[in-house]
């Protein structure tokens, strides 16, 4: 087994299957509470805002802004040796204040990355056939 194919990949489980299936269709979805109508991230059986258990999966625009980021230069996994340096970004999605997800920022020069920079979701194919959401900078 080579190091690239050994890169960790998500295993859809515990109710996250709809999220990962939507990624393969290049759609960003999250659980939205039927009671308080707020999105939550990560997927969870109960609303993290009000504790209700009813929810539906709803599509998001994929647009957001950079809340914070870091440039990873040290490979934290043997399979990451060929990936460094790469950017880990926390994106606040436009649908709801405080709705943030971690991802990678791709195709960006370090000097162009700023707080509140507008980003848009994109998808990359992992070797296990699962598409993964990443973000790209939007022209300001």
33 makes contact with Zn ion (CB under 5 A): yes
36/124 with CB nearer Zn ion: 36
- Candidates 7-15, 42-50, 76-84, 102-110: pick the segment binding Zn ion (CB under 5 A): 42-50
47 makes contact with Zn ion (CB under 5 A): yes
The tokens describing 134, both together, are: 């990443």
Near Zn ion by CB under 5 A: residue from 3, 27, 49, 83: 49
Smallest separation (angstroms) from Zn ion to the CB of 95? 15
50 makes contact with Zn ion (CB under 5 A): yes
DSSP codes joined into one string, 6-63: TS------TT-HHHHHHHHTT--EEEEETTT--EESS--SS-TTT----EEEEE---E
DSSP codes joined into one string, 85-111: SEEEEEEEETTSTT-EEEEEE-S--GG
Instruction: Write out the residues near Zn ion by the rule CB under 5 A.
Output: 33, 35-36, 47, 49-50, 52
């Amino acid at each position: 087994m080579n190091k690239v194919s050994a890169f960790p990949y998500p295993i859809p489980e515990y109710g996250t299957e709809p999220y990962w299936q939507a990624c393969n269709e290049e759609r960003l979805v999250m659980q939205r509470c039927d009671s308080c109508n707020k999105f939550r991230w990560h997927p969870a059986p109960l609303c993290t805002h009000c504790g209700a258990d009813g929810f539906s999966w709803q599509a998001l625009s994929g647009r957001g802004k950079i809340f914070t980021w870091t440039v990873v230069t040290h490979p934290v996994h043997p399979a990451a040796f060929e990936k460094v340096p790469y950017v880990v970004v926390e994106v606040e999605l436009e649908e709801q204040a405080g709705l943030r997800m971690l991802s990678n920022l791709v195709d960006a020069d370090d000097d162009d990355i700023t707080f509140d920079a507008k980003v848009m979701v994109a998808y990359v194919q992992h070797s296990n056939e699962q598409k993964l959401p990443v973000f790209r900078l939007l022209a300001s």
